[in-house]
Structures are given as structure tokens and as C-alpha cells.
Amino acid sequence: MNEHERERTIELLKGVIRPVEDGGLSGDLWPRMLRRMEEGPMRVPWFDWALAGLVVVLLLLFPGLIPRVLYHL
Amino acid sequence: MSTHPYLRAYMAGIVVPTLFLLVIFTFFWVMRFVYNVPVPIEHVLVFPMALVPNLWGVWNILYMRLSSRRRWPIGLHGAALVVLLSPIGYLLIGAQQYLIVPPALIALVFASLAVIYYLVWKYVVAFLNAFLGIS
């Protein structure tokens, strides 16, 4: 590849590949971080605990369910 | 993060079943090769390995579309997936004697799956969606 071909290749590449857009942050992330910290740990309602407990009890009472349930996960 | 929302929804959807595949694979591998239970592992794993993760991804894309129009609880959306997945799973099981569910247990399997899907979608998939800026 001579000099002319090299320059031509560079020109073609510049024409095809778009310049990188500004990848900077769109805003300050710290306020969002503070809000997230103030929210505290996620609260799980009692109903969901009851459902989870029900499934555990079912699987303990009927171990034959375990492979059938795993198969669908 | 406003580009490729469908791709992000798909990726958030497939995380859980893809990770859990290791547990499933280990379970069936131990059953087959340690306890010599006649499980045709190559047949059994096709469904959880190929179909389930992809359906979760597509189901999450559908959730994204639905929730953009009206409020729709993600837990119920996940539980509804059981209605679609279970029949396909049983069709693919075919003649696998080991996994055929006795009629008396069908309701229990269905209920267990619905609850597990409800909880996983409500807490894990919802978290991933929020993390990826989908909802």
C-alpha cells in the first residue's frame, strides 16, 4: 500500500465511521445515590413471605415436586 | 440510558433462568450419574436451557410494552408466564417417565410454579429492570 492509497483508506474510514458522541454523564448521580440510600432496605410484605413459606412447605411435604418444579425454572 | 430498550428488557429477563440453569444442571446431573436415576439428561435439559431463558426475555419485553400503556403488576405478569410455559414443558417432556406429573400433583406443581414466578419477577426481575433503566 503506497502513501496515496493509505491516505485514501484513512479518508474512507473517516467518512464511514461516525465520530464518537459525547459520552459524559447527563447529570449529577450523587443526589440519586442519596435518595437510594435513604430508601433503606427493601421491605417485603407479609403476604409474600407467606407465599414463599407455602412453597417451601409444599416442596418438603412432596419432594417429588422438586424435579418437576426445577424443570420449569 | 434511552437506547435499545428491547435489548435491555430481553437481557434483564434472561438473567435469572440463565444463572439458575447451573442449579438445574447440577441437580439432574447428580440424579443421573450419582444416584443412577434413569433421567435422559440430554432430553430434559433442552427445555430449561433453550426455551425458558428466551421466553423470559421475550416476556419481559412484553411487560415493557404493556406497562408503558397502563400500570400492570410485574409479579402477576411473571406468574402468567407459567400458563404459557407449563403446557410447552409437558409437551416436550413427552414420554419421560421420570418427570411425568401424576394427576394428583398437577395442581400443586402449577401452584408452586406460579408462586415462585410471582416472587422472582416481583423482586429480582423488577430490580434488574430498574437497574437497567427499563421501568
Tens-place pLDDT, residues A13-65: 888 877 666 555 566 767 776 776 777 667 888 888 999 999 999 889 888 88
Cβ pair B48:A62 closer than 8 A? no
Nearest to B99 among A42, A44, A68 (CB): A68
**Rg (chain A; Cα; Å):** 29
Domain range for residue B77? 5-131
Nearest to A67 among B85, B99, B122 (CB): B99
Measured between beta carbons, the chain A residues lying within 8 angstroms of B39 are 67
Choose the mutation target among A26, A48, A56, A68 for the interface with B, i.e. most B CBs under 10 Å: A68
Q: In angstroms, rounded to a whole number, what is the distance separating the alpha carbons of residues B96 and B103?
A: 15
Q: What is the ipTM of this complex?
A: 0.73
Cβ pair A73:B108 closer than 8 A? no
Q: Provide the whole-model pTM.
A: 0.74
For chain A, what is the largest distance between any 2 Cα atoms, rounded to a whole number of angstroms?
79
User: Which residue shows C-alpha cell 465511521?
Assistant: A17
How confident is the model at residue B59, as a pLDDT?
A: 93
Q: In angstroms, rounded to a whole number, what is the distance separating the alpha carbons of residues B91 and B101?
A: 12
Tens-place pLDDT, residues B59-80: 999 998 888 788 888 999 999 9
Residue in chain B lying closest to A26 (CA): B1
Q: Phi/psi zone of residue B102: left (φ > 0), alpha (ψ -120 to 50 degrees), beta?
A: beta
Q: In angstroms, rounded to a whole number, what is the distance separating the alpha carbons of residues A12 and A6?
A: 10
Nearest to B113 among A44, A62, A72 (CB): A72
Measured between beta carbons, the chain B residues lying within 8 angstroms of A70 are 23-24, 27-28, 48
The total of structural domains in chain B comes to 1
Cβ pair A71:B23 closer than 8 A? no
